[in-house]
C-alpha cells in the first residue's frame, strides 16, 4: 500500500533527497506547480479532456476504464522517465487533490520497483498552504532608495548574513518600464505566489526578513495583498547617494541593451514623461548621449518613488547615506539600523 503524508509533513520531512512528481496534465503543470516538481502526466491534455467528457456522460467506472486504455501504452515511458530522474531516490507524487491520477501513477512506479509516497490533498492542499503563508505575520524591513541605487546588489550582499526575499528574482522582472529586458518570461501569477510562499516557508520563524521596496505590481504580477500590506507597514531604510552615482548604476544595468529596445521602452513612458521630454530622451539615446537619456528618465522615476515613499508613516522612514561605505560597512549598518528599530518598537 502506498504511504501518504500531508503537505506540512512533506516540507518537514521531504525537503531534500527525493524526486517530486506532478501527475497532472501538462496544461495544469504549465500554469503552476509545486516548485521543483517534475511533470510525469498520467494523461495528456487531450486524454484528460476525453476522460472528463466520459465521466460526465457515462460515469466514474467508464471514465477510469477509458483512462487506463488511453494511458496504458505510455506506462513504459512514465517508468523510464521516473527512473532516470529519481536515480534511486524515493518519489513523492501529487495530482490535483491527491486522487486517482497520483495513486495510479504511484502504483505503476511501485510495480516497477520505485519507492513512492503520496501528498494528501495534492496540489490543492499546497495552494491552501500558500495562501495561509501570506496571512502569517512577519518581521519585515524594507530596503528603499531611488532608481539606480543598486538595491538588488545590496540585497544579495545582505543575503549572506540575513534572510532576504528577492521579489524581482522570483517574479522575473526588475520592476520598471525596462524591467523585462534580458529577463525570461514572467511566471503565472499562481506560480509566482507558489515560489514566493516557498521562499517564505524556508525562513526561520521569527527571523527579520528584508524586502526591496516595490510597487504592488511588478511587471504584470501582483504581490499578494496580505503580504504587500505588511511590507507597506514595515520600516523602510532609504539609501541615499548623488545622481551621478545613480546614473552610472542604471547604465550598468541597462546600457548594454540595443538602442532599439531602449527606445521602445522609452516610448511607453510618454504619458508619464510628456511628449516633449520623451522626444528629448529619444534624441539623446539616438545620439549616444546615454547619461542625458538617463537623467531625463529620472524625472519620472523620482516622482513615482517619492510619492510611494511618503505614503508610509514618518516613524517608519529611516535614511542611510552610503557615499562613504564599502559593502561590508553598508551591510553592518543596515543590520544595526533594522535591529534598533525593532528594539525600539
Catalytic residues: 95
Torsion on CA atoms 27, 33, 130, 313, rounded to nearest 10: -80
- Whether the CA torsion 273, 279, 282, 287 is positive or negative: it is negative
β partners of residue 85 = none
Q: Which cell numbers in the block locate residue 264?
A: 521602445
What are the helix and strand counts (H, E) for the chain? Answer: 17, 12
β partners of residue 118 = 4, 93
Residue 269 and residue 179: Cα distance in Å, rounded? 13
Q: What is the DSSP string of 156-199?
A: HHHTTTSEEE-HHHHHTS-SSTTTTTT-PPPPPHHHHHHHHHHH
Residue 283 and residue 95: Cα distance in Å, rounded? 55
* DSSP helix/strand/coil, 311: coil
Amino acid at each position: 500500500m502506498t504511504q501518504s503524508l500531508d503537505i506540512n509533513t512533506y516540507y518537514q520531512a521531504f525537503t531534500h533527497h527525493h524526486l517530486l512528481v506532478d501527475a497532472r496534465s501538462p496544461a495544469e503543470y504549465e500554469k503552476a506547480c509545486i516548485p521543483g516538481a517534475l511533470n510525469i502526466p498520467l494523461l495528456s491534455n487531450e486524454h484528460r479532456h476525453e476522460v472528463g467528457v466520459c465521466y460526465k456522460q457515462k460515469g466514474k467506472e467508464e471514465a477510469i476504464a477509458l483512462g487506463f486504455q488511453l494511458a496504458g501504452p505510455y506506462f513504459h515511458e512514465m517508468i523510464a522517465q521516473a527512473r532516470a530522474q529519481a536515480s534511486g531516490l524515493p518519489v513523492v507524487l501529487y495530482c490535483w487533490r491527491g486522487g486517482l491520477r497520483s495513486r495510479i501513477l504511484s502504483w505503476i512506479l511501485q510495480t516497477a520497483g520505485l519507492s513512492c509516497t503520496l501528498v494528501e490533498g495534492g496540489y490543492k492542499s499546497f495552494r491552501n498552504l500558500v495562501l495561509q503563508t501570506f496571512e502569517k505575520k512577519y518581521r519585515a524591513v524594507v530596503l528603499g532608495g531611488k532608481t539606480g541605487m543598486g538595491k538588488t546588489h545590496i540585497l544579495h550582499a545582505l543575503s549572506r548574513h540575513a534572510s532576504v526575499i528577492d521579489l524581482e528574482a522570483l517574479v522575473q522582472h526588475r520592476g520598471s518600464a525596462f524591467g523585462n529586458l534580458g529577463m525570461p518570461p514572467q511566471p503565472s501569477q499562481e506560480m509566482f505566489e507558489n515560489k514566493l510562499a516557498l521562499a517564505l516557508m524556508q525562513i526561520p520563524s521569527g527571523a527579520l526578513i528584508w524586502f526591496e521596496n516595490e510597487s504592488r505590481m511588478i511587471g504584470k504580477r501582483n504581490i499578494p495583498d496580505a503580504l504587500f500590506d505588511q511590507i507597506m507597514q514595515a520600516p523602510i531604510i532609504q539609501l541615499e547617494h548623488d545622481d551621478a552615482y545613480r546614473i552610472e548604476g542604471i547604465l550598468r544595468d541597462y546600457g548594454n541593451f540595443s538602442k532599439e529596445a531602449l527606445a521602445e521602452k522609452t516610448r511607453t513612458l510618454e504619458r508619464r514623461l510628456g511628449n516633449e521630454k520623451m522626444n528629448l530622451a529619444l534624441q539623446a539615446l539616438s545620439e549616444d548621449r546615454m547619461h542625458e537619456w538617463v537623467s531625463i528618465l529620472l524625472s519620472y522615476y523620482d516622482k513615482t518613488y517619492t510619492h510611494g515613499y511618503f505614503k508610509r508613516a514618518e516613524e517608519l522612514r529611516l535614511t542611510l547615506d552610503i557615499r562613504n561605505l564599502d559593502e561590508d560597512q553598508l551591510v553592518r549598518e543596515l543590520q544595526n539600523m533594522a535591529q534598533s528599530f525593532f528594539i525600539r518598537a
